[in-house]
């Protein structure tokens, strides 16, 4: 399509600049049709195919091709959607106002997302959606799956920084039948800059604890080819002992547009070195880790009524973990080394007919690891790549093939999308597993819509689940995939003043992988991973944005998610190590103010109440002293910024009231932290 659409109020709404067949959006990668409504913070995904029926009806709902929509926001993003799923979105205009310095910190501002930090500035975080574990999410970069098969701890090791992002899209709820395995409780798509404008932007930030970061991004279009490059570096001496870090990223993305189709290429590299104080056990606080991640993908799009989108991708992740950064114990045999390689090829297709849109596709993915800890023993050892010492003595490989099929129909104000995923894993007795789903939506008015969904999802065991053997743990190479049925019902109301949604969700998960041991066992008995735990999750999400534009207040957001979980083991004689440490209450309030002309102030207030407990470690006596429940806490952050033509200056403070808190037991998070900096943007 080459139609253009503009709202009457360009000041506060989005303008579609053109339709040009881009597939990096989560909406497109979902293969669904979306109708745009006045939503500024919460987008709604329709699990519908890529193109709407070609009918004589000229309404937007019937004519826009989701695959071909490029969303470009002026002030606040807006989406045309059938609103049959929830996706929460934040674009670059909103991101630059937030008091955050990393992608991980940004994600913490979504109430359905739980970010459990192990360190500052996005060094390492565990992410969960709607009470799922950190291994039950699927992470995408520009629509390409980059999830780490070794452990979810590494899935957010991205080759980009905050200044490279155009928007972040979060699918709250299962997405296995669309994305494939591991979109068990949700999916996150991080989209880099896709601007048609030529520019170069340079930024610097400095702050407490020796924090310094610098970045440069540049976008340039020459003929039919667009180029985007980003380089960034950040470092800190650490907010407490052994929490220092040093990291840098390099990323390049290019796109070629022609009448025959479009080609998109991306490649990136990240390196992180950081003190891992008590990251995995408080008994050894002087841990250290270095990771290196390389990622690249190539995608081609062609066709109109019959559209084909083949793509290939590769990801390599290297990890060196040191239990002792200084003065190792006499019994310490050496560091842990891991290398994972992922190769994938995928084909997405769709066909438009009189009865609707049929979407289908297939993906072949190879996941491999070489390690001296994880996997099966090799006949010989291999020197560790890029290290002066160390060797790999174990390896493991598995092949995953996924097949997708989905059909969409529209009948008046009712929309329906039904489909399934057939998944085959080479290590699972060569059996196909079927994961169906259906999404229904009904529009009562232009502003009010009801949606109902039912989907089955799965999550494959990580290499750590399968093979990690430690002082208190034994892996299990015979683990089966986790499975769940998820149901959701919700309402959305959207107009120029109020955007609001209310959703209730329920997930019944079986074969959940858990560390278990006999109830009567003493502390010396190791925990072993088994498919013996069932977890039932229910809760609701309530998101609101009020656009005031009065008394210096631009808008107020109030987002709240409540979750309740119940876990049980199939064998009553077994005790589970899984402590259900989910966010029971997660409240986020933000206030966006324009103090004077280009002087802007944003306040962010969070309340988090985490369920469960942890085994508290007393560092004075170097021993565990019993169970400790997580204390609820409030956090207040703020950022003030001013735009001088091409220069933007800012100052921000996180944890303003210097609250003592922990996301993960025995790991204290930073207190009050001041940061300031500037960016300079040259357009040409």
Which pLDDT value is given to residue 671? 94
Which pLDDT value is given to residue 577? 67
Stretch 496-517: mean pLDDT, rounded? 90
d(Cα 405, Cα 421) in Å, to the nearest integer?
Answer: 7
> Is 310's pLDDT higher than 90?
yes
> Is 45's pLDDT higher than 70?
no
In the structure, what pLDDT confidence band is assigned to residue 451 with cuts at 50, 70 and 90?
very high
In this predicted model, what pLDDT tens digit does every residue of 241-287 receive, in sequence order?
999 999 999 999 999 988 889 999 999 999 999 999 988 888 888 99
User: Of the given ranges (444-458, 563-577, 640-654), which has the lowest mean pLDDT?
Assistant: 563-577
Cα→Cα distances 534→128, 328, 341, 530, 577, Å: 18, 40, 31, 11, 13
- Helix ranges restricted to H, 49-168: 60-63, 92-95, 103-107
The CB density around residue 268, as the number of other CB atoms within 10 Å, is 23
Higher pLDDT, 22 or 437: 437
Which pLDDT value is given to residue 92? 86
Q: Does 2.170.130.10 match the CATH number of domain 5-186?
A: yes
Stretch 510-529: mean pLDDT, rounded? 80
Which bin fits 175, alpha (ψ -120 to 50), beta or left (φ > 0)?
alpha
Which pLDDT value is given to residue 430? 61
Nearest to 180 by CA among 463, 420, 340: 420
> Is 209's pLDDT higher than 50?
yes
- Asked if residue 176 lies in contact with residue 455, where contact means CB atoms within 8 angstroms, the answer is yes
In this predicted model, what pLDDT tens digit does every residue of 60-118 receive, in sequence order?
222 333 233 333 222 223 333 455 777 788 888 889 899 999 999 999 998 899 999 98
> Is 521's pLDDT higher than 80?
no
Nearest to 612 by CA among 584, 585, 579: 579
User: Of the given ranges (102-111, 246-255, 336-345, 569-578), which has the lowest mean pLDDT?
Assistant: 569-578
State the span(s) of the chain assigned CATH 2.170.130.10: 5-186
Write down the CATH number for the domain with range 221-683. Answer: 2.40.170.20
In the structure, what pLDDT confidence band is assigned to residue 523 with cuts at 50, 70 and 90?
low
Contacts of 380 (CB under 8 A, 6+ apart): none
> Is 43's pLDDT higher than 50?
no
In this predicted model, what pLDDT tens digit does every residue of 132-189 receive, in sequence order?
988 999 999 998 999 999 998 898 999 999 999 998 988 888 988 888 888 999 999 9
d(Cα 246, Cα 434) in Å, to the nearest integer?
Answer: 44
d(Cα 269, Cα 230) in Å, to the nearest integer?
Answer: 11
Which pLDDT value is given to residue 65? 34
User: Of the given ranges (109-123, 426-440, 579-593, 635-649), which has the lowest mean pLDDT?
Assistant: 426-440
Which pLDDT value is given to residue 578? 59
Higher pLDDT, 19 or 336: 336
Stretch 538-547: mean pLDDT, rounded? 93
Which pLDDT value is given to residue 579? 58
Structure tokens at 10: 């360009």
d(Cα 341, Cα 365) in Å, to the nearest integer?
Answer: 11
In the structure, what pLDDT confidence band is assigned to residue 47 with cuts at 50, 70 and 90?
very low
d(Cα 592, Cα 603) in Å, to the nearest integer?
Answer: 7
Nearest to 279 by CA among 682, 664, 671: 664
SS3 labels along 477-524? CCCCCEEEEEEEEEEEEECCCEEEEEEEEEEEEEEEEEEEEECCCCCC
Q: What is the β-pairing status of strands 673-683 and 199-207?
A: antiparallel
Which pLDDT value is given to residue 194? 78
The angle subtended at Cα 67 by Cα 66 and Cα 71, nearest 5°, is 65
Which pLDDT value is given to residue 518? 80
In this predicted model, what pLDDT tens digit does every residue of 394-442 receive, in sequence order?
999 999 999 999 888 888 888 888 899 999 998 876 678 899 999 998 9
Nearest to 220 by CA among 212, 228, 232, 231: 228
In this predicted model, what pLDDT tens digit does every residue of 240-251 receive, in sequence order?
999 999 999 999
Q: What is the mean pLDDT of the chain?
A: 84
């Amino acid at each position: 399509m080459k139609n253009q659409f503009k709202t009457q109020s360009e000041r506060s709404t989005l303008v579609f600049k053109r339709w040009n067949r881009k597939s990096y959006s989560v909406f497109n990668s979902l293969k669904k049709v979306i109708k745009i409504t006045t939503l500024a913070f919460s987008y709604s995904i329709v699990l519908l195919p890529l193109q709407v029926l070609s009918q004589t009806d000229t309404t937007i709902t019937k004519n826009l091709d989701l695959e071909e929509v490029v969303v470009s926001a002026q002030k606040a993003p807006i989406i045309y959607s059938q609103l049959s799923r929830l996706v929460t979105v934040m674009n670059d205009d909103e991101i630059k106002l937030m008091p955050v310095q990393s992608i991980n910190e940004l994600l913490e501002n979504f109430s359905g997302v739980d970010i459990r930090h192990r360190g500052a500035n996005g060094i390492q975080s565990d992410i969960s959606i709607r009470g799922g574990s950190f291994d039950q999410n699927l992470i995408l970069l520009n629509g390409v799956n980059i999830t780490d098969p070794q452990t979810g701890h590494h899935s957010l090791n991205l080759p980009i920084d905050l200044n490279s992002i155009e928007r972040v899209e979060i699918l709250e709820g299962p997405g296995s039948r669309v994305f494939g395995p591991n979109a068990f409780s949700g999916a996150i798509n991080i989209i880099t800059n896709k601007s048609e404008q030529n520019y170069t932007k340079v930024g610097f930030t400095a702050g407490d604890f020796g924090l310094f970061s610098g970045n440069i991004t540049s976008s340039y279009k020459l003929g039919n080819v667009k180029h985007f490059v980003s380089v960034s570096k950040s470092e800190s001496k650490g907010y407490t002992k052994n929490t220092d870090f040093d990291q840098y990223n390099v990323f390049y993305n290019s796109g070629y547009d022609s009448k025959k189709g479009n080609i998109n290429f991306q490649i990136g590299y990240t390196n992180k070195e950081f003190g891992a104080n008590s990251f995995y056990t408080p008994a050894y606080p002087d841990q250290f880790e270095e990771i290196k991640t390389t990622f690249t993908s190539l995608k081609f799009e062609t066709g109109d009524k019959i559209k084909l989108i083949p793509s290939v991708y590769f990801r390599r992740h290297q990890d060196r973990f040191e239990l002792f950064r200084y003065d190792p114990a006499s019994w310490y045999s050496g560091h842990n080394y891991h290398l994972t390689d992922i190769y994938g090829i995928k084909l997405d297709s769709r066909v438009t007919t009189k009865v609707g849109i049929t979407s289908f596709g297939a993906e072949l993915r190879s996941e491999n690891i070489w390690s001296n800890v994880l996997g099966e023993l090799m006949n010989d050892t291999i020197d560790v790549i890029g290290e002066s010492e160390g060797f790999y003595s174990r390896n493991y490989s598995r092949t995953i093939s996924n097949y997708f099929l989905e059909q969409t129909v529209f009948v008046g104000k009712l929309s329906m999308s039904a489909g399934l995923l057939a998944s085959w894993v080479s290590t699972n007795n060569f059996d196909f597993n079927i994961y169906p789903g259906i999404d229904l939506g009904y529009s009562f008015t232009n502003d009010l819509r009801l949606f109902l969904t039912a989907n089955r999802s799965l999550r494959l065991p990580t290499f750590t689940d399968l093979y990690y053997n430690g002082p208190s743990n034994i892996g299990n190479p015979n683990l089966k995939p986790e499975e769940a049925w998820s149901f959701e019902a919700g309402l959305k109301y959207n107009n120029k003043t109020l955007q609001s949604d209310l959703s209730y969700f329920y997930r019944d998960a079986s074969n959940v992988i858990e560390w278990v041991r006999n109830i009567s066992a003493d502390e010396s008995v190791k925990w072993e991973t088994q498919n013996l735990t069932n977890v039932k999750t229910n809760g609701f999400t309530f998101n609101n944005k009020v656009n005031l534009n009065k008394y210096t207040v631009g808008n107020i957001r109030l987002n709240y998610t409540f979750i309740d979980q119940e876990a049980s083991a199939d064998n009553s004689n077994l005790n589970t190590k899984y402590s259900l440490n989910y966010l029971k209450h997660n409240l986020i309030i933000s206030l966006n103010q324009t103090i004077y002309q280009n002087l802007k102030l944003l306040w962010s207030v969070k309340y988090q109440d985490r369920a469960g407990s942890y085994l508290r470690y007393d560092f004075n006596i170097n021993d565990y002293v019993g169970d400790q429940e997580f204390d609820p806490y409030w956090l207040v952050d703020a950022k003030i910024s001013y735009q001088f033509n091409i220069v933007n200056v800012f100052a921000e403070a996180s944890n303003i009231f210097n609250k003592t808190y922990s996301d993960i037991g025995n790991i204290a998070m930073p207190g009050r932290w001041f940061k300031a900096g500037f960016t300079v943007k040259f357009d040409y």
